[in-house]
Structures are given as C-alpha cells and as structure tokens.
Amino acid sequence: MQTKLTLRLDETLIAKAKNWAKSRNVSLSEAVAEFFEHLPEPDRPLQLSTWTQSLVGAIKATGEIPNDEALREEYIDYLEAKYQ
C-alpha cells in the first residue's frame, strides 16, 4: 500500500533533486523510495563490505588529529625547507 508523504524543503534543493531524478529517468518519488529502502534497520548493526572491513585498523592513531591551521603551518614549513 502506498501512502503520500509531504516533505518541506528549500526550493533550490527540490529543483536539484528533480533534475537529478530526471537525468536518471526516474521519478522523484522512486528515488526517495530507493533511498529509504537502503537505510539500515535500527536494531541491526551497519554491515561493512569485505573490502571496508579489510581496512579497519590499517592506520594507527599517533596522537591528536591536527586541525586545518596546524596542517597549513606544517605545509608552509615543508615548502620553506624545500625551496631554501
């Protein structure tokens, strides 16, 4: 049984979604339904693909994750050392 669903979205987002659906020859309702069908069940843990599972633990954290400013400064230091 199909039931009507009303969504309130920004006009530009609606236009973008309609264009996306049209370019794929599906209705917007079909696209939304397909998205909802792929949502995980709330009581089941998310299933990772075999390839993704193989990546788990591949990188070991070595302290704090640097913020954008720290990365920028590190890159500037690298460039200064390289071109001096």
Domain parsing of the chain, residue ranges: 7-41
pLDDT above 90: residue 81: yes
To the question of pTM greater than 0.75 for the whole model, the response is no
Q: What is the mean pLDDT of residues 62-67?
A: 79
Segment (H or E) for 72: helix 68-82
Confidence of residue 47 (pLDDT cuts 50, 70, 90): confident
Mean of pLDDT values over 68-76: 91
Interior angle at CA 55, CA 53 and CA 40, nearest 5? 40
* Greater model confidence, 56 or 22: 22
Question: What pLDDT is recorded for position 84?
Answer: 86
Kindly give, in sequence order, each residue whose CB lies less than 8 Å from that of residue 28, ignoring residues fewer than 6 positions away: 17, 18, 21
Q: What's the rounded Cα separation, in Å, for the pair 61 and 46?
A: 23
